[in-house]
Chains A and B, each alone.
Chain A
Amino acid sequence: MKHLRKLGAYLFLLLIGYVFLFPLLFMIMSSFKPEQVIFADLYSIRAILPVGDLTLDNYRQVFEKSDVLLYFRNSILITSATVILGLFVNSLLAFTLSRMRWSGRKYILAAVVALMIIPIEAIVVPLLLLVSKLPTIGWEQGGFVLMGSWLNSLEVQILPFVANSFFIFLFYQFFRDIPKDFDEAAELDGATPFQIYRHIIVPMSGPVFATVAILHFLLMWNQYIWPIMAVQGEDARPVMPGIQIFFGRQTSWGEIMAYASFVTLPVLAVFLAFQKKFVSSLAGAGIKG
């Protein structure tokens, strides 16, 4: 009976696993197949198996037709800068919200919660207007100068996304559950609020930092609408909008799959690296040291 139930559980997990893995496998396998083979295999199990004459042609085409390495570099820069700044900024605000007393604290907290429900699509147009008017600071002939607008730059893709109310709230919730005694003990030990943040709270909050890092990474890596609007040129283009190139007069699904596989790799790598902490924080384990 017990074995039977276990067997059932595994079958169920296999099914779920298949549902989630199928698109991924299909994408990766198809990226190695010529166009006709993809379509020939479409309705059989072969669609997700590495069978037939496999080729790297699709990848060769991708590198030839697009500046995918440049996009890749841009995305890495944008994403890592945003995530690193974001971890710092969001957790610091959450720290002051959850562990310090100041007037107006409640209103800021209410604002953070309220802002969570506003989707990015609702603010892109005013935001675009704003950044198009913002000057960048450049260096010319031995002095600082104000130049042009923010459009077509990396920073236009970074700075608006550093602070995020949802991540602030995640940090806030986690910090709120850490007993106040730690802060007070550290305060008596002569630590300033920033030292309490740096030496006490941050080291105790590994799981929430990992969770926010993953979520923020995904959010940034998958940015699509904003770069399309704010970045016209090639120089600052990230990976996701880059896929447009392949939807032309004659669409090659093999190339699209190759491009998609290539840009999905970092996501898998990051997920596998952080997976353990991510899962443990979602399970609510390890909250209290």
Chain B
Amino acid sequence: MADVKLTKVVKRYGDVETIHGIDLDIKDGEFVVFVGPSGCGKSTLLRMVAGLEEITEGELHIDNECVTSVAASRRGVAMVFQSYALYPHMTVRENMGFGLKMAKTDKDEIKRRVDESAKILQLEPLLDRKPKALSGGQRQRVAIGRTIVRNPKVFLFDEPLSNLDAELRVKMRVEIAKLHSQLKNTMIYVTHDQVEAMTMADKIVVLRGGNIEQVGSPIELYLNPVNEFVAGFIGSPRMNFFECDVISQTSSSLRLRLPCSTEVELDADVSASPGMSKVKLGIRPEHLQEDHQGKVKIGVDVDVVEHLGGATYIYARYAGDNELIVQAGGLSPVRRGHHCDISFDLDQCHLFDCNGLSLRAAQPIPLQTEVSVQELVLG
């Protein structure tokens, strides 16, 4: 059980800086997810916490102890690799006990602890098999079991589910979340899948290009992204953006012209950025409606319609070449080639200035943001 604290952490490979000074506080028992596009430095950051990658500058504290230059095995962390990295010549039992064997733990103790963690993950029938004789999901569980055996302060996961098929991924996702509520250790989890991030995290850290874009609970990030990048990254399908001309602005409101020439007025605290000529309007697919209940109506040409049963995704073009995704109800009558009207409410719109910074939140943030999606899902 431990806090993890990163202070101005920098990573350089020769002259190339890939992590640009990251500050992050992770509380004891938190499930933190690093998420971001490929190459943004998620793995590097995680490996620096693990001790597999040197920290060029800055400090790392685990459990209030500075471990910046402490060897990986002494940091009290355990890691699940994307490839699982199960030793192919050892049985599951030997794989799980290897760390303890290296620490010269006595045989009975090893056996006891391996049995104990095998029980948590229902691995008992597999203990005498070699990794080759296991399915993907079973290997995954052994890889997790191997980390539990060592009873680490912090668990690290680097895209552990990316080698599994979609169905198993959902199952393992729930299992890992359960494990967390059972063990209550600090866990850091890397993924580029924002659905995983949304469903599992207590706290999401959105990274881009070696910088933190935003840290917050899943709901916070969904409702109140600080910039266009986070807004586009969190949520599926991704948020729709289109550019609007500013007709006039006061300190607390803006008058805009939408691409289809409709004029709208909406509240926003823009006193800090006077004299804007263009802004970006962001609206999530689930907030666009194909009926006419929203205040603002726009006409679109439908390109593709995907019927998923429970929902329908409508891919459309709006006022020329603005692409738009609408999430409609399951039985939407809209067909390809139709021209139809879409409506939305202005208080569900996000607003970004020309640098992509958010000018206002879509809605006031509900008071209870601590209630994470994960808790809602798992009860």
Interface residues of A (CB under 8 A from B): 179, 181-182, 184-191, 195, 199-200, 203-204, 289
Contacts and interface: CB of A to CB of B under 8 A. Distances in A.
Contacts of B81: 181, 184-185
A182 B102 contact: no
Interface string B132-170: 100000000000001000100000000000000000000
Contacts of B369: none
A186 B94 CA distance: 12
B153 to A, nearest CB: 13
Nearest to B102: A190
28 contacts: A181-B81, A181-B82, A182-B85, A182-B87, A184-B52, A184-B79, A184-B85, A185-B79, A185-B81, A185-B146, A186-B98, A186-B102, A187-B72, A187-B73, A188-B72, A188-B73, A188-B77, A188-B99, A189-B73, A189-B99, A190-B73, A190-B102, A191-B73, A191-B98, A191-B102, A199-B87, A203-B89, A204-B88
B200 interface: no
A6 to B, nearest CB: 33
Name the prevailing secondary structure of the A interface residues. Answer: helix
Contacts of B89: 203-204, 289
B376 interface: no
B103 interface: yes
Nearest to A184: B52
A204 B81 CA distance: 19
A199 B99 CA distance: 12
A184 B143 CA distance: 13
B6 interface: no
Contact of A189 (B51, B82, B83, B98): B98
Nearest to A202: B89
Contacts of A191: 73, 98, 102
Interface string B42-56: 000000001110000
Contacts of B51: 188
B320 to A, nearest CB: 49
B85 A181 contact: yes
A287 to B, nearest CB: 11
B21 to A, nearest CB: 25
A186 B85 CA distance: 9
B40 interface: no
Given A184-B52, A200-B87, 4 more contacts: A185-B81, A186-B98, A189-B102, A289-B132
A11 B88 CA distance: 41
B62 interface: no
Interface in B173-226: none
Interface string B63-101: 000000000110001110111010111000000001100
Contacts of B79: 184-185, 188
Contacts of A186: 87, 98, 102
A208 B18 CA distance: 38
Nearest to A192: B102
Contacts of A185: 79, 81, 85, 87, 146
Contacts of B77: 188
Contacts of B72: 187-188
